[in-house]
Chain A
Amino acid sequence: MKRGAICTLGMTVLLAGLPLQAQENLLMKALRDEMGRTMERLQLEEMDRPYYVAYWVRESEGRSRTAILGGLLGRGRGSGNRSLSVELRVGDHDLDNTNFTDFGRLRSRVVREGFPVSLPLRDDYKELRRQIWLATDGAYKQAVHSLAKKRASLQNKTRVEEIPDFSREGPVEHRDEGDLAPLPAEAQVEETVQQLSALFKGMPQVFDSRVSAGQSRVRTYFINSEGSSYIRNFSSASIQALAATQAADGTHLEDFVVARGRHWKDLPGQAELAARIRAMAERLGRLREAGFVERYNGPVLFEGQAAAELVSQILAPRLLALRTPVADNPMFSRFGSSPQNPFLEKLGARVLPRFLNVIDDPTAGSHGEAPLLGGYEVDEEGVRSRRTTVVQRGILKTLLATRTPVSGVSNSTGNRRNARPNPSNLFLIPRNGLKQEEISRELLDLVEERGLDFGIVVRRIGSPDMRLSRERGFFFSMPGEEERPKLKPLTEAYKVFPDGREELIRKAVILGLSASSFREVAAASEVLTPHHTTMRLPMMNPFSSIGFMGPPPIISLVVPSFLFEDLALRRPPGDIPRPPLLASPLSLPQVREPAGR
């Protein structure tokens, strides 16, 4: 599990007991001193000088555990991790070394720009300076090299549109008050995952399961050569239970329970989680018996988690100002690079029905009683966070942007999270939304109008980060693979009959759904449901990106239920593996007592 992995990598801070003030000052001083020297003196003969430098130092640690059927999958503990990332630009705002795919860059073995460098865990000024010096030197040489190659490759091209490489933003100073959130005790995390995972022992209908829980926290120190600086604390906790089974015909069925919060103490209690896990297992059991829908064309209503995942997987990726870099080698230009976002061409055009607005608001702390988790005060690049209206009355006004401009979006909206733009708290707000019974009625009206036997309501959709069976990929995505975001299979969907009766469907996929399908949303509910998820975007191009590659950030979505008039549903394509030949050992009548090894 992605999050689990991060927690095990990062660990305890050795600095915990030391006075924080003294610590920061020396680290910040080392960063400032080396930055001063860099801006003043770092230059190769007859080559450009840096015009922008930024440093990030991240101190991360975490505590997490995973258990299967009551047994822990190992224990890890240790010191934290302190790493430095450098972003260095030569040229000028209009044309610099970035937004360029340089296939030569991985050859350098010394210090690779964009790849974090380990720093001493304690503040040894001299050794901090050595690491910052060498990392900056490597970044500068790479930058000069890339800019020369970029200029060379642009010489033979007529650029249709001159978009600057870097936006101008005012300096910001920010410092999070207070200490880092405490981490939960190891024993507490272990007990949680052991007890919750042991629930599956009584559920032989579930073939695979695991429960992970933990909290990670990061303190980020940032400075750039424009006078911005921040110190930011971030903490994130979660508990997740994943379960999978097969139906009698072998159909793979998988579902999950996840709870997220900023801190361990914000997570629901074990009794509530246990109830949710039991409900999921019971649902999986019913899904094994449920029938398929072979083909269906007609109205589909998405509610709750399903509506939020639909937005997160299909619409939200299109709301981001992702720039397609110039490539030095046309043969590989598509390899690993993010494809052009079709919404770049839709600024000012209608992308949603008139009754929908989309707002990204990192300053929002909650929706009603429910806390939102996507907020922050300054973004990764030190741009102050702000509320951005992305879609107004159905018209696309802007895209969520970092300091890397795209056509039509020349400034940052304060949405850089990790290395790229990401939503924070994304609100889809309908005007005159319908009440629950009205939207359900609307669905049945459409069913009747179309002369169908039933309509479809979807309540849960699989999430890209919540998978038990994960293929281990060594390579980043192949060209074209991720061009169009695809919706994960529906994990809880029902046929709804005219009399209001619902019948569970085993598993289904929706065909042909894309961001432009959202224009056809027929109705939305008045009630908005908050939901937290992570957005898995096509992997960053390892040859062109600069900056930190971290875990996908958590976004909060606040969305209504959506009714689509016309979608195509199918039984999942492909071969179905046979069910297990032997019964689960959990179904055997045996009692065993745990002992030593």
Chain B
Amino acid sequence: MKSPHRGVLFPTLLAAASLLAGHPVRGATPVLDAMKEELQRSVETLSKQPTPLYFLSYEVTGNRRYSVRASFGNITGSSEGDNAVVDVDLRVGSPELDNTHSIRGDRLSNFPRYAYQQTPLEDPEALRSILWRRTDQQYKAAVEQLAKVKANVRVKVEEEDQAGDFSAEPAQKWLEEPLSPEFDRTPWEEKLRRYTAPFSAYGHIYSANATLSVNVETRWYVNSEGSEIRTSQSYYRLMIMAYTKAEDGMELPRYESFFSFTPEGLPDDSQILQTVQEMIADLQALREAPLVDPFTGPAILSGRASGVFFHEILGHRVEGHRQKREEEGQTFKKMVNQKVLPETFSVIFDPTVRRRESMDLVGAYRYDNQGVKARRVPVIENGVLKNFLMSRTPIEGFSRSNGHGRKQAGLAAVARQSNLFVEVTRSHSREELKAMLIERLEQEDKPFGLYFKDVQGGFTFTGRSTPNMFNVLPVMVYRIYPDGREELVRGVDLIGTPLTAFSKIMAADDQFESFNGICGAESGGVPVSAVSPAVLVSQIEVQKKEKSVERLPILSPPWESP
């Protein structure tokens, strides 16, 4: 693939660069031009209405997708396509109080609304026509919503957080060339066949799939403050999933996921085939692994596991808007400038870092979905909570966005995570960490501790109406015995509550690992990363994993008893 051209074109440079290229500026950006023209026309009329509009933005997200799926050495599907989706953010009222203000006591009305409006891209008139319809519908809905907001504010008790609804941000201009990498599915069909073929020798592996998803996303953004942004990013994701079952019916999955900005960022064939062999061996071992009963005790979380652990327990709880909504748990709201982690720990969110060692970090971006420039945000510095992840929704004490307003096309942006980095000023070797764990076992007279080597993901509840817990879903867990022996076990999820879990973090090693994934929340799925060393936690809790009660297949595999 050609290396993508990344143009840094500020307005003054823009004309020159475009002239050199021999194209008039206008012709080079017909999508942005159409968006701008319709935006200006809408602003002119709608800001003179009895309930005037004070902010309008349009975002068009174009996706070119390729997908190849294989199972047990055979292709089960291979396709490609493109589409584009329009998003309109329209605000009436004032930045202090507008139509997006949360209506308290009415959960249904705060439920995220999914508005998926496709648009053609080639034809400016078609795009304008769709923006016109969408704007009209949203303006009417906004006027109605603002009336409800005003009534709600009058009727309910005073809000705990008096911050306004929309922050002031400078206009941004940034034009990247849209990427259009050539991608041929055919060689990948062959690769995926090869990756999944080794599973086919095993009758006890009931599902073995590999999926390659390529997504080239180009975003066009304009707003009534004068921002004009065009960014373009490609994502390549290879997932391999296989599962078996234990005699007791428990489904035992193994997942591997590789995620990068370029196809070169994915591991080569020999590495992947090696991984497949490990998966097969792990599945075999998992079937025979003993079950773990609910347990509390010390544990080591590998870098990947602790990345997910921090993402769930900290990351989702420092998303700015959650400090404001009164149905949220607001765990950290009043803890700014307080110590929440050992002094040696810092946690930074940084969407401007695109790569760590040999791995792309897919939580990187240049502008968020509200046209705010991405920036580094130290959230915990030397153990002390300093900041939150901010979209353009202000909260008390934090009036500005720090470029974390993110969303999936079709939904409204809220504060979301980007690349999470756990940094430590004092690290130990892996052996030291293990020795520290064993020492604790002896002190507490525990028969074993746990080592969480790999996880498939996790989830957490941040609201007030549910216990504020998190759940990390491990796939490879080992018991560590006082004599240092490690034994694979199965059947547990790592659970806990945020503040307790945080208070138990003791130390970290020096082996950083990265986890790339898609994080889902009210504004949809967004790519995120977490980079962390392994950490020692003095006490964790595990609960039994949800388990299928279905028996193993009744008949043997057909090729064993035809």
Which of A's residues lie within 8 Å of B, judged by CB?
8, 11, 14, 33-34, 37-38, 41-44, 67-79, 81-82, 108-110, 118-122, 124, 126-127, 129-130, 132-134, 137-138, 140-141, 201, 207-208, 472, 577-578, 580-582, 584-586, 592-597
User: Residues of B contacting A581 with CB < 8 Å?
Assistant: 45-46, 49, 136, 139
Interface residues of B in 113-158 (CB under 8 A from A): 114, 116, 118-130, 132-133, 135-136, 139-140
On chain A, the residues within 8 Å of B206 by CB distance are: 110, 134
By a CB distance below 8 angstroms, the chain A residues around B427 are none
Knowing A75-B81, A109-B548 are in contact, say whether A597-B554 is a contact too (CB < 8 A): no
- How far is B114's CA from A157's CA once the two chains are assembled, in angstroms? 45
Given known A-B contacts A109-B548, A581-B139, A597-B218, A71 and B74 have beta carbons under 8 A apart: no
Task: Tell yes or no: B482 within 8 A of A by CB.
Answer: no
B364 to chain A, nearest CB (A): 23
CB contact under 8 A between A68 and B119, given known A585-B125, A594-B124: yes
| A79 touching B121 in the complex, CB below 8 Å, given contacts A110-B548, A137-B553, A585-B132 | no
Q: For residue A180, give the distance in angstroms from its CB to the closest CB of chain B.
A: 19
- Cross-chain contact of B76 among A8, A119, A207 (Cβ < 8 A): A119
Bitwise interface map of B from 62 to 95 toward A, beta carbon under 8 Å scored 1, else 0: 1000010101111111111111100000000000
Q: Does B344 contact A (CB under 8 A)?
A: no
Q: Which residue of B lies closest to A71 (CB)?
A: B120
Task: Flag if B136 contacts A582 (CB, 8 Å).
Answer: yes
B28 in the interface (beta carbon within 8 A): yes
By a CB distance below 8 angstroms, the chain B residues around A74 are: 81-84, 118
- Chain B nearest CB, measured from A196 CB (Å): 13
Choose among A120, A207, A208 the residue that contacts B75 (Cβ–Cβ < 8 A): A120
Given A122-B74, A581-B49, do A77 and B127 touch, yes or no (CB 8 Å)?
no
- For residue B5, CB closer than 8 A to chain A, the reply is no
Q: Output the least CB separation between A303 and chain B (Å).
A: 33
Option from A11, A118, A585 in Cβ contact (under 8 Å) with B128: A585
A110 touching B550 in the complex, CB below 8 Å, given contacts A72-B122, A119-B76: yes
Q: A33-B562, A585-B41 are in contact. Are A137 and B83 (CB under 8 A)?
A: no
Give every chain B residue within 8 A of A592 (Cβ-Cβ): 30, 34, 124-125
CA distance A208 to B127 in the complex (A): 12
Residues from chain B with a CB closer than 8 A to the CB of A596 are 27-28, 30
The contact of B74 among A109, A120, A140, by CB within 8 Å, is A120
The interface residues of chain B lying within 8 Å CB-to-CB of A597 are: 30-31, 62, 121-122, 178, 218
Using CB atoms and an 8 Å cutoff, list the residues of chain B in contact with chain A: 27-28, 30-31, 34, 38, 41-42, 45-46, 49, 62, 67, 69, 71-84, 114, 116, 118-130, 132-133, 135-136, 139-140, 178, 185, 200, 203, 206, 218, 251, 548, 550-551, 553-555, 557-559, 561-562
- Chain B residues lying within 8 Å of A585, measured Cβ to Cβ, are 38, 41, 125, 128-129, 132
**Do B558 and A129 touch across chains, with their CB atoms under 8 A apart?**
yes
Contact of A124 (CB < 8 Å), options: B67, B74, B84: B74
- Mind listing 19 A-B residue pairs with CB under 8 Å? A42-B555, A44-B554, A68-B129, A71-B119, A77-B80, A78-B78, A110-B206, A110-B548, A110-B550, A120-B74, A121-B77, A130-B557, A137-B553, A201-B125, A208-B133, A585-B38, A595-B27, A597-B30, A597-B31
B residues less than 8 Å from A593 (CB atoms):
27
**What 5 pairs across the A-B complex have the smallest Cβ distances?**
A71-B120, A78-B79, A120-B74, A76-B81, A71-B123
Given contacts A580-B133, A585-B129, 18 further A-B contacts (CB under 8 A): A14-B75, A70-B126, A71-B122, A71-B127, A74-B83, A74-B84, A74-B118, A75-B82, A122-B75, A127-B71, A127-B74, A127-B200, A130-B558, A581-B136, A585-B38, A595-B28, A596-B30, A597-B178
Chain B residues near A578 (CB-CB < 8 A): 140
Residue of A nearest to B116 (CB): A472
Q: Closest A-chain residue to B556, C-beta based?
A: A133
Contact partners of B67 in chain A: CB under 8 A = 78
A109 surroundings in chain B (CB, below 8 A): 251, 548
With A118-B71, A118-B76, A208-B133 in contact, is A582–B45 under 8 Å at CB?
yes
The residue in A14, A71, A72, A138 that gathers the most chain B C-beta atoms within 10 A of its C-beta is: A71
Nearest chain A CB to B346 CB, angstrom units: 40
Distance A34 CA – B555 CA, assembled complex (angstroms) = 11
* Given A78-B77, A594-B124, A133 and B555 contact (CB-CB distance below 8 Å): yes
Structural contact, B555 and A137, CB atoms closer than 8 A: yes
B185 contacts across to A, CB distance below 8 A: 78
Residue of B nearest to A123 (CB): B74
Q: Is the CB of A110 within 8 A of B251?
A: yes
| Contact partners of B178 in chain A: CB under 8 A | 597
A108 contacts across to B, CB distance below 8 A: 548, 550
Are A42 and B554 in touch, CB under 8 angstroms?
yes
Which B residues are in CB contact (< 8 Å) with A71?
119-123, 126-127
Q: A110-B251, A584-B129 are contacts. A72–B120 as well, Cβ < 8 Å?
A: yes
Q: Could you tell me the distance between the alpha carbons of A291 and B76 in the complex, rounded to whole angstroms?
A: 56
B130 — which chain A residues lie within 8 A by C-beta?
68
Q: How far is the CB of A200 from chain B (nearest CB, A)?
A: 9
CA distance A41 to B178 in the complex (A): 59
**Min C-beta distance of A413 to chain B, whole Å:** 36
Closest Cβ–Cβ distance, residue A158 to chain B (whole Å): 32
Give Cα A67 to B127, complex, Å: 12
Q: Which residues of B contact A586 (CB under 8 A)?
A: 125, 129
Q: Which of B31, B72, B81, B561 contacts A77 (CB 8 A)?
A: B81
Chain B residues whose CB sits within 8 angstroms of the CB of A38 once the complex forms: 555
Kindly name the residue among B130, B135, B218 whose own CB sees the greatest number of chain A CB atoms within 10 A: B130
B314–chain A nearest beta-carbon distance, Å: 31
User: Are A67 and B120 closer than 8 Å at their CB atoms?
Assistant: yes
Q: Looking at the assembled complex, report how far the CB atom of B59 sits from the nearest CB atom of chain A, in whole angstroms.
A: 14
Q: State how many angstroms separate the Cβ of B194 from the closest Cβ of chain A.
A: 14
- Specify which chain A residues have a CB less than 8 angstroms from the CB of B551 in the assembled complex: 44, 141
Chain B's nearest CB lies how many Å from the CB of A172? Answer: 27
Cβ B129 vs Cβ A121 within 8 A: no
Cβ–Cβ contact B79 & A76, under 8 A: yes
A594–B122 alpha-carbon span in the complex (Å): 6
Q: B132 contacts which chain A residues (CB < 8 A)?
A: 580, 582, 584-585
Residues of B within 8 A of A119 (CB): 76
Give Cα distance in the complex from A584 to B551, angstroms: 62
Smallest beta-carbon distance B354→chain A, Å = 24
- Residue with the greatest number of chain A CB neighbours at <10 A, chosen from B72, B123, B133: B123
Q: Are A77 and B76 in contact (CB under 8 A)?
A: no
- With known contacts A71-B127, A594-B124, A596-B28, A33–B558 Cβ distance under 8 A: yes
* Candidates A11, A577, A582; contact of B41 at CB < 8 Å: A582
CA A132 to CA B83, docked complex, whole Å: 35
Name the B residues within 8 Å of A130 (CB-CB).
Answer: 72, 200, 203, 557-558
Q: Which residues of A contact B251 (CB under 8 A)?
A: 109-110
Q: B125 to A127, Cβ gap below 8 A?
A: no
Using Cβ atoms and an 8 Å threshold, which residues of chain A touch B128? 585
Q: Pick the most buried of A109, A110, A129: most chain B CB atoms within 10 A of its CB.
A: A110
Measured CB to CB, the closest approach of chain A to B556, in angstroms, equals 9
A518 to chain B, nearest CB (A): 39
* Residues on the A chain within 8 Å of B74, using CB: 120-122, 124, 127
Is there contact, CB below 8 Å, between A79 and B550? no
A73 with B83: CB separation less than 8 A:
yes
| Cβ–Cβ < 8 Å partners of B562 in chain A | 33, 37
**Residue pair A133, B30 in contact (C-beta under 8 Å):** no
**Measured between alpha carbons, how far is A126 from B202 in the docked complex, in Å?**
12
Contacts of B38 in A (CB 8 A): 585
* Set of chain B residues within 8 Å of A82, measured between Cβ atoms: 76
Residue in A closest to B82 when the chains form the complex, CB atoms:
A74
Most buried by A among B119, B120, B122, B130: B120
- Nearest CB on B from A82, distance (A): 8
Q: Which residue of A lies closest to B548 (CB)?
A: A109
Chain B residues, Cβ within 8 Å of A67: 120
Beta-carbon contact of B49 and A81 below 8 Å:
no
